[in-house]
């Protein structure tokens, strides 16, 4: 009898569970007709770093960096995740529009916070950067070409043709791009030209925070990265490292070896340095992708060690 009774209870529970509708597990709530004024001037941000930051340190830094007219309150809601409550709307707009920001070398990903989302739901996988496009010849300085570059780097937002100098002699052009912070940065690229060697177009990221020069990820510490340096190849098949200090705006560096070529002399392979640009219409490309931008990434073999230092935003 006890066995039959237990079997009946179990089947009864299963039957009731099956009849339980998902609607019975939902609860409609009344929303606020008016949001608190403090929320209207609020941003949420996440610091991409292996180090831990606290709200007092963050507040002290942003007060100085953002040159605020009124006060601000910074509260931590999760690890390296902070809510920034501005007293004045203009301060909030300036802080948001002048992105990106770095705090002690780490990237601060600022986002707007919708009132129908919890802070855990805010998407921090994209962040806005200004990228300087160096070395682009006048023939390709047009909206379509720059949008294509921006779309390869992330989500194209805007282009600044002003830069420095007039149209004929500007040093670079700036494009505003939303970058996927969970993926390696787009390093730079070669521009193929009819009858000429490929030309290296150098991309420099303004306010570039600490980045792993092995894998290209923001907020990743190269000291603890276990992959080999990613490499690119030029049209002669010579490989060189993808990431380095040349991605920063405080120097005029370019990757070493971008114009090297391999030649045979006395039956041995040697490396001949070819300075840009030399005419070689019969050269063979290693890899070609749409848009005149080609890249080959390898993870085999260590190359040179590159110092990974942060820059202040």
pLDDT digits (tens, 9 = 90+) for 196-235: 999 999 999 999 998 999 999 998 877 888 888 899 999 9
- pLDDT(19) > 80: no
- pLDDT(292) > 80: no
Helix ranges restricted to H, the chain: 2-19, 37-40, 55-66, 89-97, 143-153
**Crossing angle for the helix pair 55-66 and 89-97, nearest 10 degrees?**
90
Pick from 57-66, 84-93, 132-141, 270-279: least confident = 270-279
Q: Say what the pLDDT of residue 30 is.
A: 79
3 state SS for 261-311: EEEEECCEEEEEECCCCCCCCCCCCCCCCHHHCECCCECCCCCCCCCCCCC
pTM of the model: 0.74
Burial of 280 (0-12, 13-18, 19+ CB in 10 A): middle
Q: Say what the pLDDT of residue 192 is.
A: 97
Q: In what order do the strands lie in the sheet with 172-180?
A: 155-160, 172-180, 126-134, 196-205, 189-193
Cα–Cα–Cα angle for 106, 67, 76, nearest 5°?
A: 50
Average pLDDT over residues 229-256: 94
Q: Kindly report the length of the chain.
A: 313
Mean confidence (pLDDT) of the chain: 80
When pLDDT is cut at 50, 70 and 90, the band that residue 24 belongs to is: confident
- Going by C-beta distance under 8 Å and a sequence separation of 6 or more, which residues neighbour residue 52? 79, 80
Average pLDDT over residues 229-257: 94
When pLDDT is cut at 50, 70 and 90, the band that residue 27 belongs to is: confident
Q: Say what the pLDDT of residue 276 is.
A: 46
CA 102 to CA 129: how far, in whole Å? Answer: 11
Average pLDDT over residues 241-257: 94
| Residue among 190, 183, 180 nearest 149 (CA) | 190
Q: Say what the pLDDT of residue 150 is.
A: 97
Whether the bond between 100 and the residue before it is cis, its omega within 30 degrees of 0, is: yes
Q: Say what the pLDDT of residue 251 is.
A: 95
* Other CB atoms within 10 A of residue 86 CB: 24
Q: Say what the pLDDT of residue 272 is.
A: 47
Q: Nearest 10 degrees: CA dihedral of 222, 228, 232, 235?
A: 150
Please give the residue that has the higher pLDDT: either 210 or 166: 210
- pLDDT(307) > 90: no
Please give the residue that has the higher pLDDT: either 307 or 103: 103
Q: Which domains does the chain have, with CATH numbers?
A: 37-121 (3.30.70.330), 126-292 (no CATH)
Please give the residue that has the higher pLDDT: either 185 or 161: 185
């Amino acid at each position: 009898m006890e066995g039959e009774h237990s079997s009946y209870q179990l089947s009864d529970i299963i039957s009731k569970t099956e009849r339980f509708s998902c609607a019975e597990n939902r609860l409609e709530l009344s929303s606020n007709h008016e949001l608190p004024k403090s929320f209207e001037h609020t941003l949420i941000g996440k610091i991409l770093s292996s180090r831990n930051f606290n709200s007092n340190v963050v507040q002290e830094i942003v007060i100085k960096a953002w040159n605020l007219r009124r006060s601000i309150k910074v509260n931590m809601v999760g690890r390296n995740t902070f809510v920034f409550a501005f007293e004045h709307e203009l301060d909030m707009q300036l802080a948001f529009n002048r992105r990106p920001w770095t705090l002690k070398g780490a990237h601060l990903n600022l986002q707007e916070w919708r009132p129908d989302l919890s802070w855990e739901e805010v998407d921090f996988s994209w962040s806005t950067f200004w990228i300087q496009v160096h070395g682009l010849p006048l023939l390709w300085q047009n909206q379509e070409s720059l949008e294509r570059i921006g779309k390869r780097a992330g989500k194209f937002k805007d282009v600044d043709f002003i830069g420095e100098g007039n149209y004929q002699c500007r040093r670079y052009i700036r494009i505003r791009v939303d970058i996927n912070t969970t993926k390696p940065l787009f390093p730079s690229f070669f521009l193929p030209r009819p009858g000429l060697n490929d030309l290296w177009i150098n991309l420099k990221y303004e306010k570039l925070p600490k980045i792993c020069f092995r894998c290209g990820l923001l907020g990743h510490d190269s000291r603890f990265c276990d992959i080999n340096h990613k490499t690119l190849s030029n049209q002669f098949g010579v490989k060189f490292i993808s990431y380095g200090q040349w991605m920063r705006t405080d120097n005029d560096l370019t990757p070493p070896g971008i114009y090297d070529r391999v030649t045979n002399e006395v039956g041995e392979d040697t490396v001949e340095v070819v300075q840009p640009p030399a005419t070689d219409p019969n050269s063979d490309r290693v890899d070609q992708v749409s848009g005149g931008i080609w890249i080959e990434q390898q993870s085999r073999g260590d190359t040179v060690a590159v110092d990974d230092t942060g820059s202040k935003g």
